[in-house]
Amino acid sequence: MRFHFRASLTSEASQRRRHRFYGHLLMITLVVMACLALPKSLHSLAGIGYSLTTLLLTMELEGSIRHGGRANPRDLPYRLLGLLTLLAQWIWYFTPLSQRESGWPLLVLTTLFVGWSVLRLVGFLAEEQQVNGRVLMGAVSGYLLLGLTAGLLFTGLDSIQPGSFTSLHDPGGSLYSTGPISQASPHMQQLDFTRLNYFAFVCLSTVGFGDVLPTTPLSQMSAVAFSVIGPIYMAVVMGLLIGRYAAGKTVRRDRDDAPGS
């Protein structure tokens, strides 16, 4: 009995921590999106937000509510992958565009890490017993995380293969700016970070405005991939949330209909 009570307390504490994580993740992703709306000279703040997101996922997206928050054997490799992804991001941020090979570790590690993170996040959402505001925050933050990751990958891809994306709004069609490159962040200042993140969410939501176009096979297949991932994430998460909400209503109705209630 004492062991069961202690396990219950541990599970509740793990759930409260998970719900705080949902809120923090949503807040950081919204801050990153807000930073992308700022003037181009301040876009380096978005890079800090990306790093904070990676760090938060590495530290918090572990254990299991169902098993009382105990460590998962796959937590250690997940943490190592997160730290490598964080390192690759900072190397890429401060590497001049002339050294385009620095974008390959970013593409590979970020794809693996965020893909694994989204699978873990969906797994934690599936463990929730009822739908509340915090759980909805977790679902929304997962979608925003996919969009921001797609934007980062598109930006890294355009640095490796310049001209991978063209814009119908610019006379030359390029998503590179013609202004001076900042010494503090020579990489991010030259790429049109906002436009590529905008295009990433257009792909994820399958809206397809057509004002930004992928021009190389790799960029085209990347756009197709995120156009498929977006609806799949929505379908899976919506199915989980609707199922939990319906189950919660059934339990409450049976409890109210029980004799002596």
pLDDT tens column, 12-23: 788 888 999 999
DSSP 8-class letter at 176: B
Cβ atoms of 78 and 62 within 8 Å: the answer is: yes
**Half-sphere exposure for 136 (CA within 13 Å, toward CB):** 5
Please report, as a single letter, which amino acid is at residue 86. Answer: L
Higher pLDDT: 63 or 88? It is 88
Q: Which of 92, 142, 131, 129 is nearest to 11 (CA)?
A: 129
Cβ neighbourhood burial of 217 (10 Å; 0-12, 13-18, 19+): exposed
- Residue 182, exposed/middle/buried by CB under 10 A (0-12, 13-18, 19+)? middle
Query: Per-residue pLDDT for 203 more than 80?
Result: yes
pLDDT of residue 73 exceeding 60, the answer is: yes
Distance, in Å, from the CA atom of 26 to the CA atom of 21, rounded to the nearest integer, reads 8
Rounded CA-CA distance 233/114 in Å is 13
Do the Cβ atoms of 189 and 47 come closer than 8 Å? no
How far is the CA of 172 from the CAs of 21, 163, 178, in angstroms? 43, 10, 11
Q: Looking at the DSSP assignment, which residues form a beta bridge with residue 166?
A: 174, 213
* Helical packing angle, 133-160 and 2-36, nearest 10°: 50
Of 14, 17, 34, 41, give the one whose Cα is nearest residue 144: 34
Residue 188 has pLDDT above 50, yes or no: no
Identify the three-state secondary structure at position 166: strand
Bridge partners for 214 per DSSP: 165
Q: What is the pLDDT of residue 14?
A: 82
| Least confident piece of the model among 36-40, 79-83, 134-138, 154-158 | 36-40
- How far apart CA 154 and CA 151 sit, in angstroms, is 5
pLDDT band for position 58 (cuts 50, 70, 90) = very high
